[in-house]
Structure 1
Amino acid sequence: MVYQLLFSPTGGTAAAADALLAGTVLDLTDQDRDFSAVTLTAEDVAFIAVPSYGGRVPLPAVERLGKVHGGGARAVLVCVYGNRAYEDTLAELSDVAEFAGFRVVAGVAALAEHSIARKYAAGRPDESDKAVLRDFQARIQAKLDAGDTTAPALPGNRPYKKRGVRSIVPRTAKRCIECGRCAAACPVGAIDAADPRRTDADLCIGCMRCVKLCPVEARTIDPDALAGLEARLAPLCTGRKENELFL
C-alpha cells in the first residue's frame, strides 16, 4: 500500500507530492484525528510531505507524525519550500520519521509557491518541476524494486536551527460573512468557531489556509507586514532554485 502523509495547508506541498506519486492520503493538518491509531506495515511505502517553515518542520506535523506507528514502512521524505531555503527540514523530518518507526529510503526537496509572499516561486510546481519530480519517482521506484533500504545522506544540521516565530497572523476584514470555513479548517484551532473574526495569535502558525479558503477574501495579510517580508526575502529568493533528490 502506498500512503501520502501530508501537511499541506494551502495545497503547494500536496501538489509536489502528487507529482511524485499518488496514494492514500493521511492528512496531518487534521487536528481532530487520532494519529496514534494509524498503523503501517513493512510492506507499505509512505511519502511523508511537509512544507519548510523557517527551515524547520511545522510543529503540528512533528507532533502528529510522531504518534503514527510506522511499522517499518519505507518512507520517502518530501520537504517543500518557497525558493528561499529548507535548511534543517529534511534532517528533522528524517529524525521524526525514524522515531515513528519508518525506514527512510529517499528524500526530496521540492519547490512550490511561497504560502505568504506568493510572488516567490509563483506557479510552482510548474510543468518543468513536474517532469523532474516524475523522473525522481522513477529513480525512487527503482531503488524500492531493488529492495534497497539504505538510508540516504540528507542535508541539515543537528541541533536544528532555532524555531522561528510566525509573526504574520491573518486579519479579518469587515466583509467576513462568518461562514466558519476558516475555523473548521484551521490545522491548529486558532480561529474561534463561535466568532470566526477572532484569531488566537499565540496558536496561529501562519500557514495561510484561512486566507486560501475564505470565499469572500475576508482573511487578509497586513500589506505593510507583507511588504516587509517580501523585502527581507528578496536577496534570498533571487534566481530559480531546483528540485533535489537524495538517494
Structure 2
Amino acid sequence: MEINQVIAAYFSPTYSTRDIVLTISSEIQHSPKQIDLSIYDNRETSYSFSSHELVVLGVPVYGGRVPADAAKRIHNLHGNNTPIILVAVYGNREFEDALIELKDIVVSNGFIPVAAAAPVAQHSIIHSIAAGRPNAQDIQQARDFSKKVQDKLKKTVVLTQQDCIQLPGNQPYKKYGVIPLHPKAGHNCIQCGKCASNCPVHAIPQDHPDQTNTEQCISCMRCIVVCPKHARGLNPIVKAATANKLKKVCSQPKENLWIL
C-alpha cells in the first residue's frame, strides 16, 4: 500500500518519547509531520487521517498505563482505516497494560495498529535508572524496526481490521496511578514563566510561576526539564525514598520490545 504522509504524534513531557517516535518515523519518511499532544493548547484539537497516511503514536508509560491526560488527547485523533505504529516508552520497570490500552483507544477511533514497540528510556524522575537510554544500540534497533514496518506495508494491498496486531496486556487494565511527586521552585527561580507556558496541564500559574497546583500536576517533570535556571526540583527526601523503592524493581537493564 502507498503511504503519502507520515505523522509523528506524541505526548512527551521530557522529550524522550518524542525523540524515539521521530527516530522511527523519520526512517520511513524524511521530516514527518509532527503533532505534539503535550502542548496544552493542543489538548482539544481534533485531527483526521486517511488510509494513505501512517501515524506513529508515542506516549510515556505512567504506572503501567497510558497517562490519563494523554489518553484524553489521543481520543481526538480520528482515522479512516489509517495504519498506526504504537509506541509506549517505559523507564526500565514495566510497560504492563500501556500498549493494549493504547491499541483499544486508537482502534475505536478508526486506526489499524500494524506494529508496536515498548522501548526503554532513562527514567523521567530517577535519572540513574536506565541512564543514557536510548543508547546507540537502541536507536539502531528502532531504525531496523522502522524498515521492517515499511517492508510490511509495501507487501500489504488493502489494510483491514483483521490486520490489527495482537499486543500483550490485561483487560481490564491495572488501576491507574502515578507517583505523586510535585516539583517546586527554589531560590534560583527568576519567574520567567517558561515552566508555566510549557506545562502540559497548566498546573503552574503564569502570574506566579514559582508555585505549583498539586491537584492539577501530573508529575511529568517537564517544568524541571525546561527551567533555564535549574530552579525547579523535587523534595530531596521524597526523591531519595522514591529512588530506593524503584531500584528494587528497575536495577536490571530491560530489553526493548518490537512487535510486527
* Same fold (TM > 0.5): yes
Instruction: State the 1:166 CA deviation.
Output: 3.5
43, 65, 87: which one pairs with 2:52?
A: 43
Q: Which moved more, 1:11-20 or 1:142-151?
A: 142-151
Question: SS of the residue aligned with 2:7?
Answer: strand
Distance in 2 separating the partners of 1:243 and 1:62: 23
The one-letter code of the counterpart of 1:136 is F
The answer to whether structure 1 residue 9 and structure 2 residue 13 are counterparts is yes
Aligned to 1:25: 34
119, 124, 142: which one pairs with 2:128?
A: 119
Question: SS of the residue aligned with 1:21?
Answer: helix
The answer to whether structure 1 residue 159 and structure 2 residue 146 are counterparts is no
Counting only pairs closer than 5 Å after superposition, residues 212-227 of structure 1 correspond to structure 2 as: 212-227=225-240
Counting only pairs closer than 5 Å after superposition, residues 54-65 of structure 1 correspond to structure 2 as: 54-65=63-74
Aligned to 1:85: 94
Instruction: State the 1:222 CA deviation.
Output: 1.0
Q: Determine if contact 2:61/2:95 at 8 Å carries over to the other structure.
A: yes
The one-letter code of the counterpart of 1:198 is Q
Distance in 2 separating the partners of 1:155 and 1:14: 23
Q: Determine if contact 1:113/1:124 at 8 Å carries over to the other structure.
A: yes
Aligned to 2:215: 202
Instruction: State the 1:175 CA deviation.
Output: 1.5
Q: Deviations over 1:191-223 (max 9, x none)?
A: 001101111111111110000010111111111
Structure 1's unaligned 5+ residue stretches are none
Q: Determine if contact 2:62/2:178 at 8 Å carries over to the other structure.
A: no
Distance in 2 separating the partners of 1:11 and 1:165: 19
193, 198, 201: which one pairs with 1:185?
A: 198
Structure 2's unaligned 5+ residue stretches are 27-31
Question: SS of the residue aligned with 1:32?
Answer: helix
Identity across matched positions, percent: 39
Distance in 2 separating the partners of 1:100 and 1:200: 32
Counting only pairs closer than 5 Å after superposition, residues 92-103 of structure 1 correspond to structure 2 as: 92-103=101-112
**TM-score w.r.t. length of structure 2:** 0.92
Instruction: State the 1:20 CA deviation.
Output: 1.4
Q: Deviations over 1:35-55 (max 9, x none)?
A: 543111111000000000000
Instruction: State the 1:34 CA deviation.
Output: 6.0
Question: SS of the residue aligned with 2:77?
Answer: coil
- The count of residues paired between Structure 1 and Structure 2 equals 247
Question: SS of the residue aligned with 1:111?
Answer: coil
Distance in 1 separating the partners of 2:63 and 2:43: 27
The answer to whether structure 1 residue 176 and structure 2 residue 180 are counterparts is no
Q: Deviations over 1:119-176 (max 9, x none)?
A: 0111111101011111111111111111174111111101100011431000110210
Question: SS of the residue aligned with 2:78?
Answer: coil
Instruction: Report the RMSD for the aligned CA atoms in angstroms.
Output: 1.2
